[in-house]
Amino acid sequence: MLLTIIAAIDAEIATRKNEKLGIKFSLDLFNELVKAGKINMATFTAFGTGAFPQQFPAYDGKLYAFIDLELEGLAFEVGVPN
C-alpha cells in the first residue's frame, strides 16, 4: 500500500510546473515515509537564495515535508506557498 501512496504523491508532484512547493502529511504517513527513506533532512534557504540555510524534513530530499495533525490516516496534500 505504501508504494501506491508514494506513486500518488509522485504523480501529484509531476502535475506541478513549479517545484517550489511543499507537502503536508498525516503523522502516520510521515512516519511510514521516514521508515521507507522517502523523507530525510535537507537544507533549505530563504527564498532559495542561499541565505540563512536551515535543515528541514524533505520528501525525496528536495521538497519541504511537514506534519499536519488535522490530516488523518495516510493522507497528504501537495501545495504551493501563497
| pLDDT above 90 (res 19) | no
Percent pLDDT > 90 in the chain is: 84
Question: What's the domain range around 25?
Answer: 2-79
Long-range contacts of the stretch 47-53 (C-beta < 8 A, 24+): 48/20
| pLDDT above 80 (res 55) | yes
Residue type, 61: G
Q: Contact at 8 Å (CB) between 64 and 15?
A: no
Confidence (pLDDT) at 82: 60
How many domains does the chain divide into? 1
